[in-house]
Amino acid sequence: MEKEYEETGKIPLIGTQFPKMVVNTSQGMKKLPMDYKGKWVVLFSHPADFTPVCTTEFVSFQKHYDQFKKLNVELIGLSMDQVFSHIKWIDWIKEQLDVEIKFPIIADHGEVARKLGMLHYKATNTVRAVFIIDPKGTIRAILYYPSELGRNMKEILRMIKGLKFAEEHNVAIPANWPENELIEDKVIIPPAGDVETAKDRLAHAKAGEYECFDWWFCYKKE
């Protein structure tokens, strides 16, 4: 299945391994995902260097860089520009906006973009894609944005926090967490898969361990 998606250029599936590749970046050659083993990775593509929306995104990614690092996350950019273009753009951002881009940017000839389904339908540049990859090299989330809409860094950070929390505590994360309209900052107990588990959930609720709207919708303060 994973090989089929890699060969046909379709978007990889969530839950599959990120395809192995060697890429040229503004910080030298990188082996993906091997060089980032044990780290979460946010790999994001942008249409082109020296464009206004992309510039705002790169500044925003860098402004949130320390927050990503605290979550054990590495950032990697990508576009179908050459390394010298990336370097000049990084220099321009430093000189004109006083922001130093500290993460690498992949210089892609189209090979990486095709493997990941990142190409715009006209195949002239890459879309605004985001791949969230866990420390084992598994793709955990994928986001795609149109060229006219810049990304929301706070949402990407929220997704990583939610994925990590769900995995560590065996729970599910509600909409807009931790400010959900129904259960606020509480988290959801995975749905019961059989009658006995459903009864057990309600028993836990009566004991005050969970709160439940019904047997299939129980939640708790973690």
Binding residues for substrate: 128
Residues 6+ apart with CB under 8 A from 15: 138, 139, 140
Known binding residues are 128
User: What is the spatial distance between Cα 191 and Cα 140, in angstroms, rounded to a whole number?
Assistant: 20
Beta partners for residue 139, in sequence order: 133
Cα separation, 24 vs 107, in Å, equals: 6
Among 132, 64, 139, CA closest to 103: 64
| Annotation marks residue 54 as catalytic | yes
Binning the chain into helix, strand and coil, the percentages to the nearest 5 are 35, 25, 40
To which H or E segment does residue 117 belong? none
Q: Which amino acid type is present at position 56? A: T
- Taking CA atoms, 131 is separated from 19, 20, 97, 192, in Å, by 12, 14, 27, 30
Q: Of 54, 113, 119, 133, which one is the catalytic site residue?
A: 54
Give the residue numbers marked as catalytic.
Answer: 54
